[in-house]
Each structure stands twice: as C-alpha cells, then as structure tokens.
Amino acid sequence: MGHEVEKAALERGHIIVGRYDSETDWNKVQMPECDVVIDFSTPENAPIIVNHCFDLNIPVVSGTTGWNELLPIYRERAVKQKKSFLYASNFSIGVNIVFAINKKLASLIGNQSNYSARIEEIHHIHKKDAPSGTAINLAQGILNNCNKYDGWLPERQEDNKITINSLRIGEIPGTHTVTWTSEIDTIELKHTAHNRSGFAIGAILAAEWLQGRNGSFSMEDVVN
C-alpha cells in the first residue's frame, strides 16, 4: 500500500518528503515541512505514528486496521486538542458507497424475521488482522440499522450474532460480501477490488480533504 499511495500522490502532483518504515525511523527523523502523514503500517505501530503526528501538529490519515479498541482514545484527543485525524478501514470510494447501501439494506430488512445475515471477507495471505476492518464496519452498519442482532462473531454462528467468515488466499486485494438469506431467496451485496489503486487514490483524496480541518473524521465525511 505504501508504494501505491506514493504513486497516487505523485500522479496528483504532490511531493513525498519522507518514507518511514519503523519506530526507529520515526525517532531519528527531524520532520521536514509536511502537510500530512499517511499511515498504512501495522496495528502495533499505528498508535505510535498517530501520537507522533499529534505531538508535531501534523494532520494524519490512517488506514491501518486491527487497532479498533484504541481508536476512541485518539479520536477523542483529536477533538479535544484540535488535531487533524482521519481514520478509515477502507479508503475505496466504491467500498464507502457499499457501506451506505449496506446500512439502507439493513434498515429495510431489519423487520423481516425470516432473513439472517452473514459477512464473508477474502484478502491476500499477508494481511495480519482478521476479520478485516471493512468487514467489521459492514457488521457495525447492520447492527446500527436493525434490531435483529446485538453483535458479531468470527467464524461462528449464533442466532443473535452476525457471522463474519475470513479467508486468506493468494494476493487477493479484497472481496467483501454481505448475504441475507431466507427460505425463499437470498440477497447479496458484494464489492470486489481488482487492485490496490482504489484504496491509494481514496487515501490521497482524504489527505487533500483533511487540509485545514481539525477534529476526528472518517471516509464518510469525505464522500459526503
């Protein structure tokens, strides 16, 4: 993703002033003039990077998934201290359109007791977190818009939980499917990424949009 983000940034006329791959790099660097940091790292490093940017008053866009339990802390700090922070589990414009459709579908089908929902996500074998942040976001969209479920579970089915199945295959960039099934039919909402460029372009658009704004934001704010 780092290479894809750099390529997309250069194509849109931006200048890359630094590339940092470890905490050691961050500790060594004297930050040059910089408009934004874009983070696609690991769940362990993302909080360190975001904190570093906050301390230096540099806007930060993060697409690292797998650290959801800590996100509220950084979102709150961004709001209280007027930092610039934008987090998204997926920067693809197409995926964010699917997020909106998913919420609408959940609200329409929520009163239909004969339908049950499940989510499947497929990614490349190098992805460390499972379920994906996008799958969790889809599950949360269902939870917030229908009363049928009170949570989600990975790889296990319970009547009041949404099941999320995760597969790691080859070099697949990302496929997400929400399925509502009844005895008479199946409704399927699916997004398939053909490559990583859509994520990278979305991250650059988010970085451009964040300029001059303080607080905590999401890709939904950018799309809207």
- φ, ψ for residue 215 (rounded to 5)? 125, -165
- φ, ψ for residue 169 (rounded to 5)? -135, 125
Q: Residues 123, 148, 161, 191: which is the catalytic one? A: 123
CA gap 142, 149 in Å, rounded: 8
- Please confirm, yes or no, whether 123 is among the known catalytic residues: yes
- How far is Cα of residue 64 from the mean position of the Cα atoms in its chain? 7
- Please confirm, yes or no, whether 148 is among the known catalytic residues: no
Task: Look at residue 171 and give its three-state secondary structure.
Answer: coil
CA gap 156, 187 in Å, rounded: 21
DSSP states of 144-161? TT-SS-S-EEES---TTS
Task: Look at residue 215 and give its three-state secondary structure.
Answer: strand
Task: Look at residue 93 and give its three-state secondary structure.
Answer: helix
Catalytic residue numbers?
123, 127
